[in-house]
Amino acid sequence: MTAWWDDLVATALLGTERRQLDVGSLPPGIATGARDAAEPARQVLAAAATATAYRRAGALALHGVEPLAPAAPDPRPSLPRAAAARLADLLDAVDEDLLGEWLAAAVRHRPPGHLVPALLDAVRGRPALQHVAGVVAGPRGRWLAGFDEGWRRVVDRAAAGDEEGFGSLGPDDTWTTGTPAQRLAWFAAARRRDPDAAREVLAASWTAEDSRRRGELLEVMRSTLGPADEPFLEHALDDRRKEVRTTAVAALSALPGSALSRRMHERLAACLRAERRLLRGARIQVEAPTECTPSMQRDGIPAKPPRGSGERAWWLRQLAALAPLTAWTELTGLDSPDDVVAGLAQSDWRAEVVGGLAEAAAVQHDPAWAATLLRVVDPAGSGPLLEAVPPDARGPLVVDLLREHAALRLDLLAAVPRPWPSALARYVLPRVAGRTLDDWESRALAELAARRSPTHLHAEAARIAPDHPTYQRAVVDVLRTRHDMLEELR
């Protein structure tokens, strides 16, 4: 600040009784007004009045300020007007489900730049949306992430599914110096490009990886598994960390023909015996393992059961979960999963075996086994099993299951992801409309039907019960909003 102003302030602070103002030191324009004043305090006030305008008028422009380096261009076409307005609306009061559906449909467009900060903010506490939000935010989001640590994390997560996302860093740089999220993203992309080379890179640094990261990296590997990965996974069975071992076991059990699968096949053979009976199908005799050898433990069968479960029952269940599903038909000579499950009906160990088989069907992604087991397991555990069924087969299967249960099973329906197959929605919607929708379960069903039914059914859904205002509001309005919101993106 200028010396004369500081002098003026100092005089005012101490008071003119104690400190004299040197009017001569003031700039001429300010001094003139002050000189006219009769006595010192008034001189200070007069000078302050003029000086305030004087200083305000002159004080502002800064020099030597460098503008920020601009963001990378975003080649995507801009969002249609209505869709941009919709995004503003969705960010205004976040409905995680709707926003997630919108974002997934909007990845091919460039959002209006001024909404990108709000978008990154909206997903701060919503990990499930961060990946897709980061992709939608695009280069502008990556640029903004430089100004906020929370945004940085969102954008890193998006790079996990987007090769270009971190291309600027250079692959080797990212792998050696990136944040854990960036490294995970790099590894996922590298596995998709060249699984073997990526595995070699990982193997080179494996022992130096933080034990928690090892589990995450292995999990990434599982989604792109091939026979060449087996030695590496077999090696990971001896890892110190339990999560790493569990992931490796699951990966190996899903790898057809792996040594682990063969060992499990042999162990299973020792437990099964099939009796063929004329006209009544087969009966399978099951005998649970009587010990858990060190080799079984290494292969992922924990010796100590969880509280409340017997040792042998537990070992059997784990064995069924990890053995190749093909072993069941081969060892019993039966033709189909249905026959095997029927053959188990008399067994004392049926519950353990079915529980283990359900896990195996989910991990080994076997649709035939999944379809069979969905009919016999507790619906609460249907989610992973349904995922083993190809999407277009899920609808008819769930419709069948619902018919068999003669009820709208919320847990079963919750396991069918959006969008529901039309057949399923057409089965569920009229049954939801047939209820008064005044109890908790019905409302939850209505909500599920509204948010997961395919949007092209909105008009059909409206015609089902035109005089049921609750249904119209809870289901049809939501369905129509989803329809409009997706149409706007076309």
Partner 1 sequence: MGGRWSAEQVLALAPDATSARAGRSLSRPSPWSGTGTTDVALWGECQGSGKAPYQVVVDITGPAYLCSCPSRKFPCKHAIGLLLLWSAGEIAEAEPTAWATDWLTERRQRLTTPAPPSRTKATPKDPEAAAAAVAERAARREDRVTAGLEELDRWLHDQVRQGLSRLPHEGYEVVDRVAARLVDAQAPGAAGTVRRLAGVTGSGADWAGRALEELGLLHLITEGWRRRSELPAPLAETIRTRVGFTVKRESLLAGQPRIRDAWQVLGSRDEVQDHLQVRRTWLRGRATGRDALVLSFAVGGQSLDVGLVPGTAVETDLVFHPAALPLRALPVAEATPVPAPHPPPGTDVAGAAGSYAAALAADPFVELVPVVLSDVRPAHHDERWAVVDTAGEAVRLVGGEPWPLLGASGGEPVTVFGEWGPRGVRVLSLWGDEGMVLA
Q: In the complex, which residues of this chain contact partner 1 (CB under 8 A)?
A: 1, 5, 8-9, 12-18, 40-42, 44-53, 56-71, 78, 81-82, 84-85, 88-89, 92-93, 112-118, 139-140, 143-144, 147, 469, 477, 480-481, 484
CB 465 within 8 A of CB 471: yes
Give the integer Cα–Cα distance in Å for 455 and 466. Answer: 18
- Compute the least distance from the CB of residue 147 to partner 1, in Å: 7
Return the H-helix or E-strand segment holding 121. Answer: helix 116-122
Residue 225: count of CB within 10 angstroms of its CB: 17
Of residues 144 and 397, the one with the C-beta less far from partner 1: 144
Residue with smaller CB distance to partner 1, 40 or 367: 40
Residues 6+ apart with CB under 8 A from 284: 272, 273, 274, 275, 332, 340, 343, 344, 347
Q: What is the 3-state secondary structure (H, E, C) of 220-279?
A: HHHCCCCHHHHHHHHHHCCCCCHHHHHHHHHHHHCCCCCHHHHHHHHHHHCCEEEEEECC
| H/E stretch holding 283 | strand 281-286
What distance in Å separates the CA atoms of residue 352 and residue 313, rounded to the nearest whole number?
6
CB of 47 or CB of 354, closer to partner 1:
47
33 vs 381 by CB, closer to partner 1: 33
Question: Residue 27 Cβ, how far from partner 1 at the closest point, in Å?
Answer: 15
Least separation in angstroms between CB 64 and partner 1: 8
Work out how close the CB of 340 gets to partner 1 at its nearest, in angstroms, rounded to a whole number: 52
**At closest approach, how far in Å is the CB of 177 from partner 1?**
24
Q: Which is nearer to partner 1, 143 or 314 (CB)?
A: 143
CB of 192 to partner 1, least distance (A): 29
Q: How far is the CB of 342 from partner 1 (least distance, A)?
A: 52
* Residue number with CB closer to partner 1 (89 or 210): 89
Q: Residue 353 forms beta bridges with which residues?
A: none
Nearer to partner 1, 148 or 234 (CB): 148
Calculate the CA 456 to chain-centre distance. Answer: 26
